[in-house]
Structure 1
């Protein structure tokens, strides 16, 4: 299948303008505004992708339901273009849940992306739902220190907060229609000592790996 990388990059730039505009005008999100949060992650096996969406209550972190979408990745992994590889499966999995979440938490970056359109931003934009990216590695942005706290700065604003949890670095980034202080508070409320990641993506990660392993055994 032919994939036009140049066209994909042009599309990212167009969508990023809308995402930045909407996010700069994002209202504050209080804890009372949040009832349901969805986390998404994926695992791979035998050339197939298993995208999982988990529905979690807030702030307790109880798993209410989950869905899985199995599909062949349309393109190989390319840094900066993850949205074209994984976002369609995530969006389908979220819709399969049958509940519109108040927040979507994505294993990946949001505005901390060269073109301000990481996978977390893309998913939030498509679903018109506030979204947050939580990544384990830096993709883009200048690290700055303010009051002994680290941030990533890009596109004229602070796009991510850098924290350490269980000796692991996490990049909590603005996805879509959320302020950084709200994104950080929401993710902080989901951190638990037994998980390296916040509950939404930790559970999605566990389930996707379990499902991929199970499907692999059935194919042997």
Structure 2
């Protein structure tokens, strides 16, 4: 995140729980391969990792949010993204948000 505290960090701090940042697109930073791992680096500081969750698809961008190391965040994302580019919890959140959006739009159309 350009300001160093994205949604995952903010939410994790607010609720005092571990969180992980996952994005479909790179927001900031440059890719740099170190010891076989592609890291995102901004101003000489590692800010995340480029993670391939499924062969033949674009990678996702993983960053620490709160109370989780980058290594652990990558392991969790790979585990949760079985047979998919996007981790299952993120897909589920998108599904719920889309359903709620449709519900609200339908409600406003009937007014």
TM class, shorter-length? 0.7 to 0.9
8 Å CA contact 2:60, 2:85 repeated in 1: no
Report the alpha carbon displacement of residue 153 of structure 1 after superposing the two structures with TM. Answer: 1.8
Structure 1 unpaired stretches of 5+: 1-112
Aligned partner (choices 70, 80, 90) of residue 201 of structure 1? 90
Pick the aligned partner of 1:129 from 13, 17, 22: 17
Q: CA separation of 1:206/1:136 partners in 2, compared to 1, >3 Å: closer, same or farther?
A: same
SS in 2 for 1:178: coil
Give 4+ residue runs of structure 1 displaced > 6 Å after superposition. none
Q: Indicate the residue corresponding to 1:173 in structure 2.
A: 63
**Conservation of the 8 A alpha-carbon contact between 2:9 and 2:19:** yes
TM-score normalized with structure 2 length:
0.84
Q: 1:188 Cα deviation (Å)?
A: 1.1
Structure 1 pair 149–177 and aligned structure 2 pair: CA distance change class (3 A): same
By how many angstroms is 1:156 displaced? 5.1
TM-score normalised according to structure 1 size: 0.45
Kindly indicate whether the alpha-carbon contact (under 8 Å) linking 2:51 and 2:74 is maintained by their aligned counterparts in 1: no
Given that 2:59 and 2:85 are in contact with CA atoms closer than 8 Å, whether structure 1 keeps it comes out as: no
**How many residue pairs get matched?**
107
The Cα offsets for residues 144-197 of structure 1, whole Å up to 9 and x where unpaired, read as 10133211123654221102234122001011121100111111110122x431
Q: Is the 8 A contact 1:196 1:202 kept in 2?
A: no
Structure 2 stretches lacking a partner, 5+ long: none
Cα distance in structure 2, aligned partners of 1:156 and 1:124 = 25
RMSD: 1.7
The residue correspondences of 1:24-39 to structure 2 (distance < 5 A) are none
